[in-house]
Amino acid sequence: MTPLLVDSHTHLDFPDFDGEHDAILERARAAGVTRMVSICTRLDREPIVRALAEKYPEVYYAAGIHPMRAGEEPLVALEDLTALAAHAKFVGIGETGLDYHYTPESAPIQQESLRVHIEAARQTGLPLIIHARDADEDMARILTEEHRAGAYTCVMHCFSSGPELAAAALDLGFYLSASGIAAFPKSTALREIFASAPVDRILVETDAPYLAPPPYRGKRNEPAYTAHTARKMAEVWGLSFEDFARQTTENFDRLFTKARPA
């Protein structure tokens, strides 16, 4: 029997997948990926992502303002984020975060937007979904400050930052999510960071259509490829693929409580 997995972060609304959703989800099911969270990165596309979640039983969704867009749009309103939580298949807040690699000039508004998303996560009880790139120090500081002000849950999506941010996130009770980057042959240092984390705080994801793991690196990613990343990451903890799939699915259900099977 194929081990069951969850793709905790994908982007099914992106044009890369237009007209192919039925086939993509069929391949995901065949690979054992029975649930996935499609992430909306700009609120004007929330109706599109919501419609996908309403059409496909295995698709759930989350929404927020991606940090690279934070400087291009008005500051997101807290009530706009919290209102989304009324939908049965809306399961997380974000992705939000800090990206100083591509958009360092908007750092102040990124930080302000991040704090609004954190408050939305607090008020709704839904997990925060964090994007972090080249902003480890500020990210650790803000997440810690805000957690002291009021607890919330969180996943560090597509984690590829340094050991200090990983330790800070784990100390707060947060989760780290492994994307195809962690399966790349030269990602030994990143796998060592993951190895220092408890396996009950690990999720797997694709971030599709980006970051396809081997043997599909450089090609369009899709939810079915979660299995390739999971197989490689199972080696980090010396687990069988079956046991790792079971553990990461349990982890997902613990964090994304609204997406648990009925």
| CA–CA distances in Å: residue 23 to residues 9, 11, 20, 28, 108 | 18, 15, 6, 9, 42
For position 115, what pLDDT does the model report?
Answer: 98
Per-residue confidence (pLDDT) for residue 155, from 0 to 100: 98
Question: Residue 183 has what pLDDT?
Answer: 98
Does 207 appear as a known binding residue?
yes
Average pLDDT over residues 210-225: 97
Task: Report pLDDT for 12.
Answer: 98
Look over the chain and give the mean of its residue pLDDT values, rounded to a whole number.
97
CB count within 10 Å of CB 188 equals 8
Who's near 211: CB < 8 A, 6+ residues apart? 158, 179, 180, 181, 221
Beta bridge partner(s), residue 128: 93, 154
Give me the residue spans of the domains in the chain: 5-256
Cα radius of gyration rounded to whole Å, the chain: 17
pLDDT in tens, 103-141: 999 999 999 999 999 999 999 999 999 999 999 999 999
pLDDT of residue 246: 98
Confidence of residue 227 (pLDDT cuts 50, 70, 90): very high
CA distances from 26 to 30, 65, 115, 224, 249 (A): 6, 29, 38, 9, 19
pLDDT at 1 over 90: no
Q: What pLDDT is recorded for position 2? A: 87
Q: Give the residue-averaged pLDDT of 187-200.
A: 98
State the pLDDT at residue 230. Answer: 98
Summarize pLDDT for 201-217 with one digit per residue, the tens.
999 999 999 999 999 99
The per-residue pLDDT for range 12-71, each reduced to its tens digit, is 999 999 999 999 999 999 999 999 999 999 999 999 999 999 999 999 999 999 999 999
117 is in an annotated binding site: no
Please tell me whether 253 is known to bind a ligand: no
Tokens linked to 27: 């391949």
95 is in an annotated binding site: yes
CA distances for 240 relative to 3, 28, 211, 236, 243, angstroms = 11, 20, 24, 10, 5
| For range 98-105, the mean pLDDT | 97
The model's confidence at residue 229, banded by pLDDT at 50, 70 and 90, is: very high
Rounded-to-integer distance, Cα 191 and Cα 207, Å: 18
Read off the pTM.
0.97
- 133-146 pLDDT, tens digit each: 999 999 999 999 99
Q: Is 11 annotated as a binding residue?
A: yes
For 71, the token pair is: 């400087």
Question: What CATH code would you report for 5-256?
Answer: 3.20.20.140
Q: Kindly report the CA angle at 15 between 14 and 16, in degrees rounded to 5?
A: 90
The mean per-residue pLDDT over the stretch 183-192 comes to 98
pLDDT at residue 262 in the model = 80
Is residue 147 a known part of a binding site? no
